[in-house]
Structure 1
Amino acid sequence: MKAAAKATAKSAKSGETPMFAGFEWMLAGRYLRSRRREAFISVIAGFSFVGIMLGVATLIIVMAVMNGFRGELLSKILGINGHLLIQPIGSELDDYDAVAARIENLEGVTFTLPFVEGQALVSGPSGAFGALVRGVRETDLRRLPLVSDTVTSGTFENFDSSTGLAIGTRMARQLGVSVGDTITLVSPRGNVTALGVTPRVKGYPIKAIFEIGMSEYDGTIAFMPLSEAQLYFNQEGIVTGIEVFTDDPDSVGRMRELVEEGAGRPAFVSDWRSRNMTFFSALEVERNVMFLILTLIVLVAALNIISGMTMLVKDKGRDIAILRTMGATRGAVMRIFVITGASIGIVGTLAGFALGLVVCLNVESIRQGISWMTSTELFSPELYFLSRLPADMDTGETITVVVMAMVLSLLATLYPAWRAARLDPVEALRYE
């Protein structure tokens, strides 16, 4: 205190005290260090620091996980399904080769994929369940890196000339089969007889097993050669639809009209956004609500700064009065307490950013560690569709969280600092 008084007197002699002078930083640092008499105030400051750190870290982690979750789902969905889907209107799609060729010539179109799709019951040694059987050509299947690059066993060589299937790892585990084993497909769209339509039952060998990383696809989709699927689902010479993959999935609104014109026949064209609108809208709403809720943690921590700083101002009333009598201006007193309170918020925010960054970079390892210690599954693939917990930190979003926490911390210090600056030295020293 004596050193601060000397520094204040010296600055008073030399003229107006410069803003954020050395003695202001010195006093602010001194107030952040506790004495025995001020231990309670330091405890409140410590809780404020921890609250802001945890609030910022939680916001960064949750937003990163939700961004990663949405990004992973989007990449998986668009890796299997086309950005645009062409379905016939009025007549069957028997000229699919010509339609696909015309659309592939359009600017912005990467490739097209004619397919036959149908529901079937698949059964193996370990059970039976419903599956989505999709008939595609080998060349088109190899254009899907999410499938062709994730084969764990088997191969797609001579896929068109074989009668084999390509299934996901989850389906293989549930059926209890591996490459070379045979599974049975039962389709209700079978042979037409005098007694009606009888289900079609046929066995197919497993030619390849892939692992996309999304439980919904790894457990329900089976790929079949296009010609075999046309025979099996009674669609000889026709396809269910044509999927169109573009350079930019976000430009499907513009491409939709071009594809409708390029098809050269009556067709209904839908894009991935309309087919998954409900799902992604729900994710966006959940993301925004989580951001608002978790922001309250930072706000509560900022309110703790107000209470701690108010108690500090009340406790330091005598010191403030002495500083004022030694020549410290109201602005200097205010800046001292602004620096004291803002330091808690800024350091807490930076610590929260560091903690959030570390957790986001190791979120999957942390999840596995907690699952191992608690013997529970924290991120069930059946519930969340993905086999791993993703985290994708968005730079702009992270900067927004950090700046918001710092601004709230700074605002929280203004009222207590203003009260300190308005303190009357005479009243503060009257009973001393």
Structure 2
Amino acid sequence: MRTMQNLPYEWLIGLRYTRAGKRSSRNSFISFISLISVAGIALGVAALIVVLSVMNGFEKKVTERMLSVVAHIEIFDARGSMPDWQAKAQEARRNPQVRGTAPFVETQGMLVNEDVMKPAVVRGVLPAMEGQVSDVARQMKQGSFDALQPGSSTIVLGSALAQALGLSVGDSVTLLTAAPAPAGQGGVTSTGTSSGNGTGIMPKPHAFRVAGIFEAGHFQFDSTLAFVSLEDGERLADVPAPSGLRLRLADIYAAPRVAVELKQGMTGDLYMRDWSQVNAIWFAAVQSQKHMMFIILAMIIAVAAFNLVSTLVMTVRDKQAEVAILRTLGASPGSIMKIFMVQGTLVGLLGTLIGIGLGVVVALNVDVIVPAIEHVFGVHFLDKDIYFIGEMPSELEWSDVAQIGGVAVLLAFVATLYPSWSAARLAPAEALRYE
């Protein structure tokens, strides 16, 4: 109580004005409008916190699953293959950020099982080294990744790809790759027309046995990616050596910088590609969506905050006699402004704190709340065929909470300026004339 008494009188009066008045129905109505303003700000703040947390969680979850298959950095040789990949791997490991290296070769083809045909990206790897740069061996649902031995003609498929083809471990599958048409035989040219002079291409079949099925949890890879041994990959791609190296780093966000360092420090005509370049469009789209959602939901907070304008204007009209008395007692226009600015800012602060509390609780429990809603209403919010993942993730970042809270309080403060200024301009004699 003593602390309250030590506050400036502007604060004391402003605090009293925020409490519900009981003298008239007008006071009660003003207090009701204030509660609506508080609720509007709270809901806007909570919605913004939850939405940004879900988008952060979505980005983090997809990135984690993506990088369980995608290398942090890929190194290619301008010659088209890298016969000295062991030496290049040793050079790359000199960088302290590099934690693992593995050779690879990549090609594309069509997997065929009976009358079903699916496109696939086929990656040739060394099973003994692949664990240094990806988590595929730990993501096996059936079979063994180590079965990809040289000359074994075995293949490991993504779970969605295997399901689409109707395959399980031990089944046979045909892989069609593009090959030049033999001399004197017709093929298909690059424009899609038939060629009878052997200058086109034709599909070349390769028989494989399914040795395993993996599930990365990222639909794009589970539905398109297949692994074979490095030797089989070289045969499919018709290259004498691996296409390049795949690297894993200690800090994934250092990949662009490390790629530049490796380019400068390694010998040969090499091309570096980091994971952010491989998926640049996707990450740019996510960031753009986050910024747009922040702007849209901040406008909702602004609408709720500017409800304070009408609330304070009504309060000024209701309290004009008291304002006039304060002015006759020597209160300056600046002091009158402070009274109503305190009142409006406290309403905005209260709404912001309630919204932060509500938003944080929901954001931290999205993994419980969303499945419960899906179960009750029989709906599913995320189709993994579209969104890559099937569950609603959430990643609360306190920097977002602080930013959202600051914006909400600032908007509430701005909303107090005009009503407070109009109260300071009241003429005491005019205000008391009809009292």
TM-score, normalising length from structure 1? 0.84
Name the SS of the counterpart of 1:222 in structure 2.
strand
Distance 1:145 1:357, change over 3 A: farther
Letter matched to residue 214 of structure 1? H
Distance 1:378 1:332, change over 3 A: same
Matched, 1:379 2:369: no
Cα distance in 2 for partners of 1:239, 1:427 equals: 90
The Cα of 1:19 is off from its aligned counterpart by 0.8
The Cα of 1:374 is off from its aligned counterpart by 4.9
Matched, 1:24 2:13: yes
Matched, 1:143 2:132: yes
Letter matched to residue 319 of structure 2? K
Is the Cα–Cα contact under 8 Å of residues 364 and 396 in structure 2 kept in the other structure?
A: no
Matched, 1:267 2:270: yes
Matched, 1:303 2:295: no
Q: How does 1:115-194 map to 2 (within 5 A)?
A: 115-124=104-113, 127-144=116-133, 146-160=135-149, 162-189=152-179
Identity %: 32
Is the Cα–Cα contact under 8 Å of residues 11 and 339 in structure 2 kept in the other structure?
A: no
Letter matched to residue 206 of structure 2? K
Question: Which one of 207, 214, 230 corresponds to residue 203 of structure 1?
Answer: 207
Partner of 2:195: none
Which segment is superposed worse, 146-155 or 21-30? 21-30
Letter matched to residue 300 of structure 1? V
Partner of 2:225: 221
The Cα of 1:301 is off from its aligned counterpart by 1.3
Matched, 1:94 2:86: no
CA RMSD, Structure 1 to Structure 2 (Å): 3.1
Q: How does 1:211-360 map to 2 (within 5 A)?
A: 211-235=215-239, 237-322=240-325, 333-360=336-363
Gaps in structure 1 of 5+ consecutive residues: 1-10, 12-16
Q: What are the Cα deviations for residues 334-368 of structure 1, in whole angstroms up to 9, with x where unaligned?
A: 44433332222111111111222122223344444
Q: How does 1:413-424 map to 2 (within 5 A)?
A: 413-424=416-427
Which segment is superposed worse, 295-304 or 336-345? 336-345
Cα distance in 1 for partners of 2:292, 2:160 equals: 33
Is the Cα–Cα contact under 8 Å of residues 190 and 200 in structure 1 kept in the other structure?
A: no
Name the SS of the counterpart of 1:99 in structure 2.
helix
The Cα of 1:134 is off from its aligned counterpart by 0.7
Partner of 1:7: none
Cα distance in 1 for partners of 2:287, 2:21 equals: 41
Cα distance in 1 for partners of 2:15, 2:159 equals: 64
Q: How does 1:353-372 map to 2 (within 5 A)?
A: 353-372=356-375
Distance 1:275 1:142, change over 3 A: closer
The Cα of 1:114 is off from its aligned counterpart by 1.2
Residue-pair matches, total: 416
Partner of 2:62: 73
Distance 1:184 1:90, change over 3 A: closer
Letter matched to residue 115 of structure 1? F
The Cα of 1:151 is off from its aligned counterpart by 2.4
Q: How does 1:99-118 map to 2 (within 5 A)?
A: 99-118=88-107
Cα distance in 2 for partners of 1:266, 1:256 equals: 14
Q: What are the Cα deviations for residues 42-71 of structure 1, in whole angstroms up to 9, with x where unaligned?
A: 332222112211221222222222222333
Cα distance in 2 for partners of 1:32, 1:175 equals: 72
Gaps in structure 2 of 5+ consecutive residues: 186-197
